[in-house]
Structure 1
């Protein structure tokens, strides 16, 4: 079984606007890690996390509400049903599993993290899935402990909306840091936009479908939009490595070590599909004439979003080559008819725009 280096830490809050602490390792002792509780394990990141820990030899238990089909009914994965937002549910899971590791995939509110780090204060590792959206300043790249985190008001902390997602994740990070100061072995992992098999958001599926079906596709502006992504299996491996080797009170960015532009993603997908695709860059003025805007296209971003992964690589992590990741991703999307068409411009509008620009 894997060995955990449990680190005593001395955390000092940084003076930057994000208030993110810098933590320094104290005495090291080894702790054997045998069991993991994955809070939320049936859909996307959680599903791959369950597989990652199971394949590494852990005894795995997943905690979900039981509203969706369990993908692990024929595997050696225990299942507890309950609402993670209820403290009694977490306490029951703790008593039944007594886990060495807790991976929290579905903590969407700061209160979720505050309660979980209290209930699981004695585990060998509590790993919170935060987000690259937690950063509150545009830097290239964004670095842990240097780039400020987003602020979060009391109202934002309890409001479930896309606009408050980043602030809520940032406040969850601060709850992790506070728990670490109290001696909890709590850590944070910050993925950027995640893609891969079983991605129910279908943001990436839009481009998989476009490249599979058409030989000419529109990319907004010049196609140089840079929004770093993260392959889901790499996120899962990062979660395990942070649990086993990370330092309490620290956050770790996760993203593909090479970040293609949007135009490059289309080219990569074309190679996986073994087809030729012409990408047609369209500026804001032409898009506006067609009733479109650049951000109508999935994974477009008007400013670069790039996370430094040097800290995570220091734990021995590396990302999967794009050709490998995309082959698996595309196969699953096609098998399950994921198209993502509702998340981008309809094809008739796109085709009419292409005709006008190329006639």
Structure 2
């Protein structure tokens, strides 16, 4: 197939481009030209900016594609521009949204039919914690209206893996590789759920090839935190309850990916992915995701909020506010 990818030189988009190429398809990407990342051989790279309306899409000409994979839209005006330009010229529209569209994120389980946040009423806004989900809700509606019966909306949970410069997940494989006693939040019984970006990319190819119309949560295995650290190979952990961390003026947000099991966003760690599995989503093992992320991350320089020095200071002070609850069991084989 001839595939158009809107965005495709950074993390999620780059993996989607690679997955389409690996599946034997011809890929064209349209980006603003800001990210300098090597694309696979044979991929055509066009420059454009949907924020400039129809003029920003002039590089597309009047060409046709079998499928458009829209990875880079955050604003309704961007989706309005691309869907308007591509109606009648694209057979199927795959839109990468987010699990943050759900209104009741404290639900026990987040399913595709759960209530959504109100759609953002304007054409654009600064992307913040408060606006992100609503902006994506508005974008989803535009896609569905422009391509009835010929759309797929992907709602990924926390995407992780190589090329993720956000450091939302890589802290943990990097920390495990450093060895020693690992400071971890909670008691090991909270939940951890992410999706390997490569699994998400391969699923995008599957729904595109099969022209699957619908909305899918895209999430990986749901683990206990104890199981997650075991998958990383951690053998010595010091658990710290939320109350103990608060007593030491330590934020739980210094621990990437941690959401307590009683929290206004706890449902984000119980995202139902059964529909995606039935449609062809295949999941990489947590240990494999961690291994590959570490293989990439060890060559990348970044700063984590929880530095080795700060972790050592917290570990030293922790016994004064909370007794040690023991070590982790042997790693998962």
| TM-score strictly above 0.5 | yes
- Give SS of 1:187's match: strand
Aligned to 2:108: 140
TM-score (norm: length of structure 2): 0.86
Aligned pairs for 1:321-332 within 5 A: 321-332=285-296
Output the CA distance in 1 between the equivalents of 2:131 and 2:222.
Answer: 26
In the alignment, does 2:215 pair up with 1:251?
yes
C-alpha change, 1:43 and 1:136, in structure 2 (3 Å) is same
**Aligned counterpart, 1:313:** 277
Q: 1:173 to 1:92 in 2, by over 3 A?
A: same
Q: Distance in 2 between matches of 1:317 and 1:205?
A: 23
Residue 129 of structure 1 and its aligned partner are, at CA, apart by: 0.4
TM-score (ref. length: structure 1)? 0.80
Three-state SS of the structure 2 residue aligned to 1:251 is strand
Does residue 1:109 correspond to 2:75, yes or no? Answer: yes
Q: Which moved more, 1:308-317 or 1:88-97?
A: 88-97
- Residue aligning to 1:239: 204
Matched, 1:71 2:38: yes
Q: Partner residue of 1:51?
A: 18
Aligned to 2:153: 188
Q: Could you tell which deviates more after superposition, 294-303 or 129-138?
A: 294-303
Partner residue in 2 for 1:201: 166
Q: 2:258 aligns with which of 291, 297, 300?
A: 300
Higher mean displacement: 90-99 or 313-322: 90-99
Gaps of 5+ in 2: 261-265, 321-333
Whole-Å Cα distance in 2 between the matches of residues 40 and 345 of structure 1? 32
Q: CA deviation at 1:97?
A: 4.5
**Which aligned segments of 4 or more residues in structure 1 are displaced greater than 6 angstroms?**
none
**2: CA distance, partners of 1:157 / 1:67:** 20
- Alignment: residue pair count: 312
User: Residue 174 of structure 1: which of 131, 138, 141 is its match?
Assistant: 141
Answering whether residue 227 of structure 2 is matched by residue 264 of structure 1, we say: yes
After superposition, the Cα gap between the structure-2 partners of 1:252 and 1:340, relative to the gap in structure 1 and judged at 3 Å, is farther
Q: Secondary structure at the match of 1:124?
A: strand
Distance 1:133 1:104 in 2: 17
Match of 1:85 in 2: 51
